[in-house]
């Protein structure tokens, strides 16, 4: 029965995480905090705008990493090496992800262009 109790606690933790993720994603989609009374319908966003926002986010991440690296190089006591390394790695990962998305989009476009009419 000990295994059963462990399974139940794991299931409860998974359900709690699922609820947190769902509430966070619904807040993001609505553009307003959940403690506000009214529910605003989600606005439609075009693909181009979504892609532009993603590219802008990657650019901001890279700019922040560069800013932290420069501050560390200048000897700013508020910035330590682990922070700089984490920011640089986040920028690298986000850039790699954006590159993969771009590659997939180019491949999809090429596939569509090769389709017979």
Average pLDDT over residues 72-85: 93
Model pLDDT, residue 14? 73
Q: What is the pTM of this model?
A: 0.57
* Tens digit of each residue's pLDDT (9 = 90 or more) over 7-60: 777 767 777 777 777 776 666 555 554 455 555 656 777 888 888 999 999 999
Residues 6+ apart with CB under 8 A from 55: 98
d(CA 117, CA 94): 37
pLDDT over 70 at 5, yes or no: no
Cβ atoms of 40 and 32 within 8 Å: the answer is: yes
Cβ atoms of 90 and 65 within 8 Å: the answer is: yes
- Interior angle at CA 46, CA 24 and CA 92, nearest 5: 65
């Amino acid at each position: 029965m000990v295994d059963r109790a462990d399974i139940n606690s794991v299931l409860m933790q998974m359900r709690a995480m699922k609820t947190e993720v769902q509430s966070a994603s619904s807040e993001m989609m609505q553009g307003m905090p959940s403690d506000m009374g009214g529910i605003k319908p989600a606005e439609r966003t075009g693909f181009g705008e979504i892609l532009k926002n993603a590219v802008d986010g990657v650019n901001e991440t890279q700019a922040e990493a560069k800013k932290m690296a420069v501050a560390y190089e200048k000897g700013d006591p508020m910035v330590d090496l682990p922070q700089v390394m984490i920011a640089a790695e986040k920028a690298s990962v986000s850039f790699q992800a954006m590159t993969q998305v771009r590659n997939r989009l180019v491949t999809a476009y090429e596939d569509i262009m090769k389709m017979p009419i």
